[in-house]
Structure 1
Amino acid sequence: MPGCSFQPEEYNDMSKEKMLEIRRQYCNPMTMKVTMYKKPVFIHQGHMQWLWDVDGRRYLDLFAGVATVSVGHCHPKVTAAAEKQLRKLWHTTNIYVYPTLHEYCEKLASHLPDPLKVVYLTNSGSEANELAMLMARLYTGNFDIINLRGSYHGGSPSTMALTSNSAYKYTVPSGLGCTNTMCPDVFRGPWGGTHCRDSPIQTIRDCGCAQGDCMAHHMYIGQLKETFATSVPSRIAAFFGEPIQGVGGAVQYPKNYLKEAYELVRERGGVCIADEVQTGFGRTGSHYWGFQGHDVIPDMVTMAKGIGNGFPMGAVVTTPEIAAAFGKGVHFNTFGGNPVACAIGSSILDVIKEDRTQQISHDVGTYLLTELAKFRDKYEIIGDVRGKGLMIGVEMVKDKASRDPLPPGDMAEILEDTKDMGVLIGKGGVYGQTFRVKPPMCITMDDAEFFLAVFDKSIQNYMDRR
């Protein structure tokens, strides 16, 4: 494991047994369900890309609290900004005028292209997406919204309709006005080839397309057109899309898919919404925002997670025209634009620039993708490696011929083994078949080498047990 000069505080708090007892007795049962490991990790402290458990064991965190810790756990500059603001003003609301809010909104807007210059701050990604749905419907006067299968846009009552994955659905009405269309997944979907993706690593599927042409693009756009023709009215409110699917397993689309999809949506009166909750703030490496990699400018951008480095905040950024439609009623948010949140958000924008985290995402992420592709060629159970920057997915299969997902129990074995060797990663995908590597954007090449060694060993251990 790479060295670390930081020394965590000695743990002298609640026992692991007592924590589990309270978790079982007083916490909602959902907290037990989402624990990924057979032997839970009891986290005590974090610093940059590292986490320590209550026993003093150090872990390399390559999941970053589900792609949330952008610049590093307890980054000193971000921590200092929070402490400074806490001593001055914890809370007020935007019914008053205070400098922290306005300084941050101006700074955030400066990172987006025209005409995306109007900011509304929220507490989470779910809230940002729900607000974007409302704005789209108010502005267009239309109701229906289209999203991609396999997407995740939140767990609030309205965004649950946008989220197209049964694991996050409940047996209550949630789909009113939202229609999903086929996800243009060039590995698991019916069409795809070796030149489809804007990624250092392509699929292993054969591609007979002529130079500059993409059959998969045409076929998936055809599916979208069929959705327009059969499932929604002639006028719609919006199209929601992540530039790269996050919870869906780092799924990437054929080049120019979003560009043509945006054109089709706008022809039908709709607005285009980019969910940058996981792809934003330089994580894809090549661009600050994921949508820039698709050569599009959306009408609205939603963001959360990395915006606050783990502090609960989110935002909707849109055009003046769309924002004006929001004035038809009154919308109030008690905590959106909180002074501490704004101070933290502002410092994160500074740190991304000063620490060159976007460049780190590009360099370390490209190296990881290239090396993981060698594992794909080595192991029959690794079906696909994909992503950009530090937004990486490794899709596991029973075999490459069938592309059938590796069963949940098998995925859990590998995940547990990786954790026991000191690395924390995540998983996702419609069938839970994809390992997700989305670390804080401060990791080093040494960290990457350690992860590769651990992951290789965990796959080999799994194969040896078979």
Structure 2
Amino acid sequence: MFNEKDKMLSEVSKKKSAFKLDAGKILKSAEEMGFGPKSLSLLKKALAVESLGSMPFSMYRAPPIIEKAGEGAVIYDVDGKEYIDMIAGFSVNNIGYHRREVLEAIVEQYSKISQYAEMLSEVRIKLSELLVRITPGDYPKKVFYGVTGTDANEITLKLVRFYTGRPYVMTHWADYHGRTSTISSLTSSFSTWAQTYPVPPTDPAIIRFPFPYCYRCPFKLDRDTCDLTCVRHVEYMLKAPYYGLSNPRKNLTNVAAFLIEPFQSAAGYIIPPEEYLPALYKIAKERDILFVVDEIQTGWARTGKLWAVDHYPEVKPDIILVSKSMAGGIPCSAVVGKSEIMDSWGPGAFSTTFAGYMLAAASALKTINILLEEDFASQAREKGKYFLKGLMDLKERHPIIGDIQVKGLYIGIEFVKNHRDKKPATEETAWMASRLLELGMLVKKSGYFGNRFAMSPPLNITYEQIDKAVEILDKAFTEAEQKFGIKKE
């Protein structure tokens, strides 16, 4: 009996240790990567006082110590090393950095009052008026504030169930909606789930269906002849009585909402085929299922439109979730939806101390107005086209590149060991991310198999910086192909 218990504890220990990092190895990697003296000193301090479970330690062999931003898409570390920024703080800094107008709005608001519980304020009401005006749909809308994107998803999960009286919420495999214990149920990621060990995310009424990842179609079909089998699959799930989602004979459904990312962001910036979202939306509307889009990373002009769903005029979501670039670097999120839905529950249904606080509202109001007045959506479209030309040239010359997807400045690059069976170049991608850091570029490795770059530069990136980015990528791809023996077939 005790031997079995010891064996079980040993297995638990193995599973836990698989995630643990070694502080000494991280510091050694930083030295090997040529970190400057100030960076090394601060990294050593960070390793002594910060949890190794923090995000920075997952991105590179050793994380840089960020000091300040420059013009366009430039970041500097504490030793003055310059990096081309292909992350924008996870698509937070869409309008760029240190905009004086935003700083002035924050200072002016702070001189009055920065926060007071979740009470109404003039600046918050102005922000709400703007949000209902610029989000998709010409029907009456209202706003519910949070602080983070995870908050927005938490609010929405409760709201759609309360409004409809139905339990099930459907989402894509590999959609990302947050990492709290509750919202991890919506985020189907092994790394996210594993960190809740030994108790997995436990919402039993989350139902998943495949995202149209056409480069690696889960149905092993070709896009030209597939007839959107991914959509037909969802349709079948809702038609078949034994799934338990619907009773087609009585035209009843147990599904409250489709809560989806329009494009998959944390999964590697994967863009669905043009026909997909309109087809999925049609299914929802035919069955009185709420259609909810998480635009937390795709919104705010990132894809060349204000919202990703704006690429599909017929899609008018019942609810849209926004955050990240909304307030120019100040935490702020909002759920914007049809008034009848937003007013369906009672006061205090969800509460978090900093929701809609004055400082964030002032920053958001100014940030959004800059984004609209300077037409950052058009900038993203034109610069995205220019960037794509450079990337496609690299694809012609580099066999490590399997696929490239670009919408505005929402850029996903997939890496493979070969084009024959598209074996994911997972190790190579991790190596390239750290090598690019050495070469002066910040990128985020991502993907179902850890073999994609999700690239989201600030939208005010210059054309010269795009050219420089392509040059640096070219060098890293060349070195990776030589190091790992990847050749044209």
The TM-score bracket by the shorter chain reads 0.7 to 0.9
For 2:348 and 2:442, how far apart are their aligned partners in 1? 45
User: C-alpha displacement at 1:47, in angstroms?
Assistant: 3.5
Question: Which one of 436, 446, 451 corresponds to residue 469 of structure 2?
Answer: 451
For 2:176 and 2:419, how far apart are their aligned partners in 1? 26
Who is 2:428 aligned against? 410
User: C-alpha displacement at 1:291, in angstroms?
Assistant: 1.0
Q: Relative to 1, partners in 2 of residues 1:116 and 1:146: Cα closer, same or farther, differing over 3 Å?
A: farther
User: C-alpha displacement at 1:308, in angstroms?
Assistant: 1.7
For 1:121 and 1:24, how far apart are their aligned partners in 2? 35
Conserved 8 A contact 1:123-1:336: yes
Say which SS state the counterpart of residue 461 (structure 2) adopts: coil
Question: Which one of 210, 216, 222 corresponds to residue 182 of structure 1?
Answer: 210
Q: Which moved more, 1:294-303 or 1:79-88?
A: 79-88
Letter in 2 for 1:45: K
- Give structure 1 stretches of 5+ with no counterpart: 1-13, 194-205, 210-214
Q: Which one has a bigger Cα radius of gyration? A: 2
Conserved 8 A contact 1:179-1:231: no
Following superposition of structure 1 onto structure 2, how do residues 92-241 of structure 1 map, counting pairs within 5 Å?
92-95=116-119, 97-112=120-135, 113-115=137-139, 117-169=141-193, 170-171=196-197, 172-174=199-201, 175-190=203-218, 209=224, 215-228=225-238, 229=240, 231-234=243-246, 235=253, 236-241=255-260
For 1:138 and 1:39, how far apart are their aligned partners in 2? 45
Who is 2:287 aligned against? 268
For 2:341 and 2:55, how far apart are their aligned partners in 1? 41
Say which SS state the counterpart of residue 216 (structure 1) adopts: coil
Say which SS state the counterpart of residue 280 (structure 2) adopts: helix
Conserved 8 A contact 1:360-1:443: no
Q: Relative to 1, partners in 2 of residues 1:353 and 1:145: Cα closer, same or farther, differing over 3 Å?
A: same
- Give structure 2 stretches of 5+ with no counterpart: 1-36, 247-252
For 2:204 and 2:218, how far apart are their aligned partners in 1? 28
- Find out whether 1:86 has 2:110 as its counterpart: yes
Who is 1:203 aligned against? none
- Find out whether 1:31 has 2:54 as its counterpart: yes
Who is 2:390 aligned against? 371
User: C-alpha displacement at 1:331, in angstroms?
Assistant: 2.8
Letter in 2 for 1:366: K
Question: 1:17-75 deviations in whole A, cap 9, x for unaligned?
Answer: 55334433332221277342224211111234221111111112111111111111222
Q: Relative to 1, partners in 2 of residues 1:354 and 1:263: Cα closer, same or farther, differing over 3 Å?
A: closer
Question: 1:103-159 deviations in whole A, cap 9, x for unaligned?
Answer: 111112211232262111110001101111111001111010111112111112222
For 2:79 and 2:38, how far apart are their aligned partners in 1? 10
Who is 1:421 aligned against? 439
Q: How does the TM-score come out when normalised to structure 1? A: 0.88
Conserved 8 A contact 1:425-1:436: yes
Q: Relative to 1, partners in 2 of residues 1:79 and 1:216: Cα closer, same or farther, differing over 3 Å?
A: farther
Question: 1:319-378 deviations in whole A, cap 9, x for unaligned?
Answer: 011012122763333211111100000011111123332111101112112321222222
Who is 1:64 aligned against? 88
Q: Which moved more, 1:168-177 or 1:437-446?
A: 168-177
User: C-alpha displacement at 1:232, in angstroms?
Assistant: 4.4
Conserved 8 A contact 2:39-2:79: no
Q: Which moved more, 1:109-118 or 1:180-189?
A: 109-118
Conserved 8 A contact 1:23-1:32: no
For 1:327 and 1:114, how far apart are their aligned partners in 2? 25
User: C-alpha displacement at 1:421, in angstroms?
Assistant: 1.7
Q: Which moved more, 1:62-71 or 1:44-53?
A: 44-53
Question: Which one of 335, 340, 353 corresponds to residue 372 of structure 2?
Answer: 353
For 1:306 and 1:146, how far apart are their aligned partners in 2? 26
Letter in 2 for 1:383: G
For 1:231 and 1:375, how far apart are their aligned partners in 2? 46
- Find out whether 1:40 has 2:63 as its counterpart: yes
User: C-alpha displacement at 1:190, in angstroms?
Assistant: 4.4
Conserved 8 A contact 1:62-1:440: yes
* Count of residue pairs the alignment pairs up: 432
Question: 1:243-296 deviations in whole A, cap 9, x for unaligned?
Answer: 2110111112122222221222333342111010011111111x2111111330
For 1:31 and 1:330, how far apart are their aligned partners in 2? 31
- Find out whether 1:434 has 2:452 as its counterpart: yes
Say which SS state the counterpart of residue 258 (structure 2) adopts: strand
For 1:445 and 1:21, how far apart are their aligned partners in 2? 37
Q: Relative to 1, partners in 2 of residues 1:219 and 1:50: Cα closer, same or farther, differing over 3 Å?
A: same
For 2:55 and 2:373, how far apart are their aligned partners in 1? 39
Work out the percentage of aligned pairs sharing the same amino acid: 27
Q: Relative to 1, partners in 2 of residues 1:269 and 1:429: Cα closer, same or farther, differing over 3 Å?
A: same
Q: Relative to 1, partners in 2 of residues 1:15 and 1:456: Cα closer, same or farther, differing over 3 Å?
A: closer
Letter in 1 for 2:320: V
Question: 1:171-208 deviations in whole A, cap 9, x for unaligned?
Answer: 32324210110111111114699xxxxxxxxxxxx76x
Q: Which moved more, 1:24-33 or 1:331-340?
A: 24-33
Say which SS state the counterpart of residue 399 (structure 2) adopts: coil
Conserved 8 A contact 2:327-2:368: no
Conserved 8 A contact 2:91-2:324: yes
- Find out whether 1:319 has 2:345 as its counterpart: no
Question: 1:369-417 deviations in whole A, cap 9, x for unaligned?
Answer: 232122222222111000300110000111112112112x311221122
For 1:447 and 1:290, how far apart are their aligned partners in 2? 25
